[in-house]
Homo-oligomer: A and B are copies of this chain.
Amino acid sequence: MTSSRSNEPDLTREKTNKSYSFDKVRGWRRYRILRPGRGVYHDVKRRLPYYWSDITDALTYRVIASTVRMYFVNLLPALAYTLDMYRRTGEFYGVNEALFSSALAAMVFSILGAQPLTIVGITGLISLFNFTIYDIIKIYDVSIYPQFMCWAGIWAAIFHWLVAIFNLCDYMRYVTDFSSESFGMYVGIIYIIKGVEELVNEFSIEGNTAGYLSCIIAILYFGTIYSLEKLGSSTIWKPWFRGILADYAYVFGTVFWTGFTHIPGNLKTAHISRVPISQAFHPTQPRSWVVDFWKLDVKWMFVALPFGFLIMLLFYYDHNVSSLTAQARQFPLKKPGGFHWDFFLLGCTTFVASVLGLPMPNGLVPQAPVHTDSLTIYETHLKIIPTSEGEDTEIRAPIVEATAVVEQRVSHFLMGLALIGTMTGPLLIVLHTMPSAVFAGVFFVVGWGSIESNGILQKFIFLMSENRFIQRDEPILTVHRRKICFYIGLQILGVTVTVAISQTISAIGFPVLIIALIPLRSLLMPRWFTLKELQVLDDLTATNEAVLASLGGAPALPSSSRAEGWGQERRRSESRHGVPRQRVGSIHL
């Protein structure tokens, strides 16, 4: 196996890791669906022994920094999406629903999850789903929207449980960077579109003055966070001070720009819009928390079934990729994952959220790795590269090493408590002081983070660069330029089609497109590219040993020699610059 990282393999873990696999078995035992519950069982068995240490390991400063950072990184986009959903679902989903849903997810996954590092909350995609369904339902009878959404969620929950029990999460190990980069790019573009929409909305609701002021705030908020996070990875000042800048960039930026809009005078009189709030602990609409789903026409219950399936498809990819990135190979993780169990749990939260009329939470793709990053102890080392130019001319480069991760579930739990706290009256009023423009800024930061570090853009820049300045040992130089164009061309095509569909009423179909990239990659692309080319251009997304244990081991990709050939670009880059630090939204899959 690919246990190249741990030099002294833990024998017991090794045994547990290998106990769940379908690769070397024969007969009926080969078939995943004939052995229901096997994945869930092994996930629990493998992960449970670490439970106590998940609490005792948490007694370090990093857990505090992580809690604060994740609170902002989780809450701000969730609120941003809620603002959008609120307007576009006839004000059905409001701030109270969003906070309740986020808090519910945080509680369930921090206490019961097998992968407590995976942050679960409200994504832009579920917001897209919810208002697209609203647009569809509106055509027939807008009054049944709450019940219909509830049924779609119930079906989705059922499909979740089926997938988890029949061990179907295993197929996530076939996900490569080909599709996850495309997904990251898609998410980034959607985020930026949402940011622009938020600003456009400001113009139409509050008028031009508020609109222009909001644009300024969004641009400068973006500039603030971006610069603080860049400073955090520079070599200016001492490491601890840089660390504070990076850890609390969102806190500084949000507090500063929220305060800025309250300066009396021109700024205050511009009347920019702020987070709409309603009575604490009550649903936004005058209803009881439990949706009266039993009152829906039976016909509509079954119409909701395909919608539920599509939600499950979305969550299958979105949630599991979140878990993969939260446990990506650049983090030196020791504790194993548990995809089946977590997906089962996600079915439960989906069910509860549906019945209570909340937006359904799932894994947050751009934010998930940020949690692990905020818990990682990085050390910036000095790398001296002697040159042949004589004495004292060696090159001194910083190289970042991830020495350990504080693997625990307390930061996730505390973040959940903070979310519950935010649901109370006084803190809702604090929320109300925040201008919507800040959320547009959040969209730009997270969206651009996802695009800037994306492999598609990196390969595009490579193609555009002057060849002579490219280091000769770049593995990508061994691939013909035409092939690189073809490869990123396929990715860009996938992204474009998905983005385009998201702007129409067929938006709910986009998970099918994203999922379709996996078989395209594993079945068709080996015919168009040689193995060597694919090994340079692509990489398996699930390579962390801890992760693969839960997915039944490394995949047998067509034409794949299980060799160490994959991830050449990454390994070269790590040997040169160290591990890339995770900015919010950046996906180094």
CB distance from A467 to the nearest CB of B (A): 10
Q: Beta-carbon contacts of A374-403 to B below 8 Å, as 1s and 0s?
A: 000000001001111100111111100000
Within 8 A of B (CB), among A459-485: 461, 464-466, 468-473
- Decide yes or no: A398 and B212 within 8 Å by CB, A203-B266, A385-B387, A388-B386 being known contacts: no
Q: Is the CB of A395 within 8 A of B385?
A: yes
Q: In the assembled complex, which residues on chain B have CB atoms less than 8 Å from the CB atom of A213? A: 208, 212
The 8 Å CB contact of A395, one of B215, B266, B471, is B471
- Please choose the segment from A15-23, A45-53, A231-239 that sits at the chain B interface, where 4 or more of its residues have CB less than 8 A away: A231-239
Q: Is the CB of A396 within 8 A of B236?
A: no
**A39 contacts partner chain B, Cβ-Cβ < 8 Å:** no
- Decide yes or no: A237 and B386 within 8 Å by CB, A269-B208, A270-B212, A471-B395 being known contacts: no
Q: Beta-carbon contacts of A468-505 to B below 8 Å, as 1s and 0s?
A: 11111100000000000000000000000000000000
**A209 contacts partner chain B, Cβ-Cβ < 8 Å:** yes
CB distance from A355 to the nearest CB of B (A): 44
Q: In the assembled complex, which residues on chain B have CB atoms less than 8 Å from the CB atom of A220? A: 219
Interface size on A, residues (CB 8 A): 41
Residue of B nearest to A466 (CB): B235
**A216 contacts partner chain B, Cβ-Cβ < 8 Å:** yes
Q: In the assembled complex, which residues on chain B have CB atoms less than 8 Å from the CB atom of A211? A: 266
Q: Is the CB of B394 within 8 A of A469?
A: no
Residue of B nearest to A397 (CB): B469
- Decide yes or no: A461 and B219 within 8 Å by CB, A266-B211, A398-B469 being known contacts: no
Residue of B nearest to A462 (CB): B236
Within 8 A of B (CB), among A260-293: 266, 269-270
Q: Report the bound CA distance from A472 to B385 in whole Å.
A: 12
Q: Is the CB of A466 within 8 A of B239?
A: yes
Q: In the assembled complex, which residues on chain B have CB atoms less than 8 Å from the CB atom of A235? A: 465-466, 469
CB distance from A22 to the nearest CB of B (A): 42
Within 8 A of B (CB), among A164-217: 203, 208-209, 211-213, 215-216
Q: Is the CB of B387 within 8 A of A238?
A: no
Q: Is the CB of B392 within 8 A of A464?
A: no
Q: Report the bound CA distance from A79 to B211 in whole Å.
A: 29
Q: Is the CB of B473 within 8 A of A392?
A: yes
A residues engaging B (CB < 8 A)?
203, 208-209, 211-213, 215-216, 219-220, 235-239, 266, 269-270, 382, 385-389, 392-398, 461, 464-466, 468-473
Q: What would 15 A/B residue contacts be, using CB atoms closer than 8 Å?
A: A203-B266, A208-B269, A209-B212, A212-B212, A235-B465, A235-B466, A236-B464, A236-B466, A237-B464, A382-B469, A386-B388, A387-B395, A392-B472, A393-B472, A396-B470
Known interface pairs A235-B466, A382-B468; 7 further A-B residue pairs with C-beta atoms within 8 A, sorted by A's residue number: A203-B266, A208-B266, A212-B212, A219-B220, A385-B387, A385-B389, A395-B471
For the complex of A and B, list the 7 residue pairs with the smallest distance between their C-beta atoms, beginning with the closest.
A212-B212, A392-B473, A235-B469, A386-B388, A209-B209, A392-B472, A208-B209
